[in-house]
Every structure is written in structure tokens, then in C-alpha cells.
Amino acid sequence: MSTALVKPVLYSYFRSSCSWRVRIALALKGIAYDQEPVNLLKDGGQQFSTEFQAVNPMQQVPALKIDGIILSQSLAIIQYLEETRPNPRLLPQDLKKRAQARMISDHIVSGIQPLQNLTFLKQVGEKMEWAQHNITCGFKALEQILQHTAGRYCIGDEVSMADLCLVPQVHNAERFKVDLAPYPTITRINKALLELEAFQVSHPCRQPDTPAELRT
Amino acid sequence: MSTALVKPVLYSYFRSSCSWRVRIALALKGIAYDQEPVNLLKDGGQQFSTEFQAVNPMQQVPALKIDGIILSQSLAIIQYLEETRPNPRLLPQDLKKRAQARMISDHIVSGIQPLQNLTFLKQVGEKMEWAQHNITCGFKALEQILQHTAGRYCIGDEVSMADLCLVPQVHNAERFKVDLAPYPTITRINKALLELEAFQVSHPCRQPDTPAELRT
């Protein structure tokens, strides 16, 4: 059977912001997929199980089984989808704008998220103020960068990979009770994106593994 | 004057592993550039100066002034170079291999490096054992992944973006005195890459801002 006929499987956790990025990409591109929930808290973290380690040695979600391979790392997955299923595109056609979309994505994915996630919090001793501090520093820079790149969304008026990173990061900021008032551009873009169906169906409060009390 | 005729300027710090990634890309592609050193330790960190913040609001190196724009984030910069100056290529032609190159790059850039850099060490209270632990966890996964992807280099026998991330990360591991014996594939690839001229001329011990006592 051709691998293209096999439905992709996304290993995901409802609350993982990295998983949400990929769920948005799959929704925007209209790719049907199955979800395999991996609970990052239960059983000491199901991502550490022998079973899941065989899927992804990085012991992280998301991982995507697709076209006969298993990929991990959200941006690598999104860019693979972009190169194999180009419509609608998630990277602008203009090369400078593409670079800016990647720059904003990397800023969030490697500059903010790792310094506020579970691994980090365990190591600093659950110091929420460091997580808040790191998000705040990151958002301060992002707000300035968006002055130069944004239209309705992060890069002009077309949804791009940067937007797929922005919305889950703003959601995390809200969970950490970061004051978003100093970031009017971030807040405006986030609001506009949350109006789109792909961002709604992929939302953490609406996944197969979302606990009943968190569903909306 | 056409922007293509203006030599790119790389804002860099000799010891920054993220800067080294970009220096390797520039060397491999034979792009002449000027360096503007930014000392991450001097004056409380020159990346925090008002002057540098105007260059890069993210207050980080590397940043590259090129073609009339300023880019930051090493992978965004490398992929911009790849799309505008495609020879020699740093991402494989095969789409699955491209995805694997990006996956390994992201694993290092967002999964390992942020959990051992200066910002992190300040926040955990200079606990070197956390930095070592994070590098070790990351290398354990990487060693497994490379079993499936590597040839002479990370992805088969062609140098790719993943290799540009690997060598600076191994250098950091050595600085943190991580035992590399459990990672024979990582060690073998690192050694093969360090034989290439582009990895040598871009090495931290050979930059304009390398202190005399560290030069070799």
C-alpha cells in the first residue's frame, strides 16, 4: 500500500504548545490524521516509556508518523508538510519574508519556549518568576520585531509558520499570568488568529485527551 | 548601489555556538563578510547595549546584516543563505532527508543549547551539573537518531545544516567536560567535520575577537 494512503498519526499532548503548532499546520492544510495521546505528567511522563522511546528517542511530543517515517521537532515537521503538501503555503514566497517568518518562529521555539517548559521549571526549582521573566523578555523583543513585519498576522496579511508559534506561546503566557498589556501587536495578532477555524479545532481545550473539566 | 554588492556583516562572539553555526555556513558557501564582535560578558554583556538592541531586539548573537535586512536566529539565517545562495547546498534534495536534517538541527538548537547556555546557567544558579545533564540527555537521543540517518556526516555523506549544529554543540560539551565515550557516532562525525576547512576557519579559537591566550 502506498504510504500516502496511510493516515498520519500525531503523537501529541493536549497542553503541549509544540504539539499545538503542528495541529494548526495539519488543520490549515486539511490533512486528516489520527491522534495518539502521550500524557507528559501521568506515570511519571509517558514520553519516557520504552514504548514511546522507540517512536521518538527525543522523548518529546509532538512526533508525526507520516509517509513511512517518523519526524519530531515541530518546525521540522511543519516544514516537511510545507514541502510535501504546499497548499495553502505556510512560508511566504518572498525570500526575505520567509526568513523573517523563520526568525520569529525560532525566536519563540528556541528562545522562549525552552525557558518556560516543564524540563526548565523542574531544574530551576519550579520558580515561576523565571518562566514569567523569560516570556516577558522574549515578548518585548517580539513586539519590536513585529512592528517591522506584521500586517493582520505576524508577516503581512498571510498566515505563516510564525503565527503557528505565536498563538500557543501566548496561551502559555496567559497560563503563567504574564501581563500582556505591554504587547498590543502580539495581542492583536493572537486575537485575529484565534478567529480562524484551524486555530480553534486544534486548541488545547478541544483535543481527544483534554480532561472533561478543561473542555470548552 | 545594489545591496548584493555590499559585504554582509556578521555580529558574532567567538565562543557563541550559535554564531559558529553561521560562520560555518558562510565559509562553506564562500561568502565574504565582515565581523562585528559583540562580547557577551564584557560591560555586563554588550548584547544588551542600546546600540546593539537597534541591530537585534532579541539581544543575541548571531545577527547578519545582508541584502538590506538584518536577520537573527542561526537556523533562519542559514536557511536564508541556502535559499539565496544555494551552492553548495546545506539541505539535502530528498524531502525526507531534508526533514531529518532540520529535525537534528532543531533538536540541538532548541532542545539542547538553550538548556546549557549563559541565560540558563544564570537562572539555575550556575549549576553545571544541570547543563551536563541536559547535554547528556540530548546526546543520548541524538546518538540513536544518527544510527538511522548518518553516513560520513549527520545525514548520509553530504554536509548539511545538522552538521553545522553538531560541531559547535560537541565543542560546548567538551567545555562542560561531558564524557563523550557513550556517543561514538557523534564523536566520529565531529572528527570528520573538523577536518574540513570551513569548520576550521570558523572555529572559536581563530576569530578576530578570540583572546590571544585562547588562539591556536
H, E, C per residue of A122-191: HHHCCCHHHHHHHHHHHHHHHHHHHHHHECCCCCECCCCHHHHHHHHHHHHHHHCCCCCCCCHHHHHHHH
Residue A2 pLDDT level (bands cut at 50, 70, 90): low
Residue A3: predicted pLDDT = 57
Give domain status of residue A3, yes or no: no
Q: What is the mean pLDDT of residues B17-44?
A: 95
Q: What is the mean pLDDT of residues B164-173?
A: 97
Give domain status of residue B208, yes or no: no
Give per-residue pLDDT as tens, B182-213: 999 999 999 999 999 999 999 999 999 999 99
Rounded to whole angstroms, what are the CA distances from B29 to B19, B22, B35, B64?
16, 11, 16, 15
Residue A120 pLDDT level (bands cut at 50, 70, 90): confident
Residues 48-67 of A with CB under 8 A from B: 57-60, 67
Sign of CA dihedral A7, A9, A13, A18: negative
8 A C-beta contact, residue B89 and residue B156: no
Residue A87: predicted pLDDT = 97
8 A C-beta contact, residue B10 and residue B80: no
The percentage of chain A sitting over the pLDDT mark of 90, rounded to a whole number, equals: 82
Residue A126: predicted pLDDT = 67
Question: Which of A86, A103, A118 lies at the terminal end of a domain, its last residue?
Answer: A86
In the DSSP assignment, the letter for residue B109 is: I
Candidate ranges A89-98, A110-119, B49-58; pick with highest mean pLDDT: A89-98
Choose among A60, A100, A124: nearest Cβ to B123.
A124
Which CATH number do you get for residue B72? 3.40.30.10
Cβ contacts of A141 on chain B, cutoff 8 Å: 57-59
Phi first, then psi: give them for residue A12, nearest 5 degrees: -150, 160
Residue A154: predicted pLDDT = 98
Cβ contacts of B139 on chain A, cutoff 8 Å: none
Q: Are residues B76 and B143 in the same domain?
A: no
User: Whole-angstrom Cα distance, residue B88 to residue A103?
Assistant: 22
Most A CBs within 10 Å, among B103, B115, B148, to test the A interface? B103
Rounded to whole angstroms, what are the CA distances from B123 to A27, A49, A88, A129, A147?
37, 29, 41, 10, 30
Which CATH number do you get for residue B118? 1.20.1050.10
Do B145 and A57 lie within an 8 Å CB cutoff? Answer: yes
Q: Are residues A117 and A74 in the same domain?
A: no
Q: Which residue of A has its CA nearest to B143?
A: A57
Residue B3 pLDDT level (bands cut at 50, 70, 90): low
Specify burial of residue A85 (Cβ count, 10 A radius: 0-12, 13-18, 19+). Answer: middle
Locate cell 590571544: which residue? B212
Specify burial of residue A211 (Cβ count, 10 A radius: 0-12, 13-18, 19+). Answer: exposed
Residue A104 predicted with pLDDT over 70: yes
Residue A4 pLDDT level (bands cut at 50, 70, 90): low
Q: What is the mean pLDDT of residues B58-78?
A: 96
Residue A116 pLDDT level (bands cut at 50, 70, 90): confident
Give domain status of residue B60, yes or no: yes
Give per-residue pLDDT as tens, A135-184: 999 999 999 999 999 999 999 999 999 999 999 999 999 999 999 999 99
User: Whole-angstrom Cα distance, residue B141 to residue A58?
Assistant: 5
Task: Name which residue leads in pLDDT, B119 or A49.
Answer: A49
C-alpha cell of B183? 556517543
Give per-residue pLDDT as tens, A12-55: 999 999 999 999 999 999 999 999 999 998 888 898 899 999 89
User: Whole-angstrom Cα distance, residue B127 to residue A87?
Assistant: 46
Q: Are residues A166 and A184 in the same domain?
A: yes
- The answer to which of A40-49, A186-195, B96-105 has the lowest mean pLDDT is A40-49
Q: What is the mean pLDDT of residues B90-119?
A: 94
Specify burial of residue B50 (Cβ count, 10 A radius: 0-12, 13-18, 19+). Answer: exposed
User: Whole-angstrom Cα distance, residue B125 to residue A124?
Assistant: 8
Residue B62: strand pairing partners: none
Give domain status of residue A205, yes or no: no
Give domain status of residue B130, yes or no: yes
Residue A17: predicted pLDDT = 96
Locate cell 548601489: which residue? B1
As for how many domains chain A has, the answer is 2
Range of B105's domain?
A: 95-199
Q: Are residues B126 and B168 in the same domain?
A: yes
- Residue B47 touches chain A, beta carbons under 8 Å: no
Residue B72: strand pairing partners: B63
Give per-residue pLDDT as tens, B73-89: 999 999 999 999 999 99
Residue B126: predicted pLDDT = 67
Give domain status of residue B214, yes or no: no
Residue B5 predicted with pLDDT over 80: no
Q: Are residues B84 and B25 in the same domain?
A: yes
Specify burial of residue A70 (Cβ count, 10 A radius: 0-12, 13-18, 19+). Answer: middle
Do A109 and B105 lie within an 8 Å CB cutoff? Answer: no
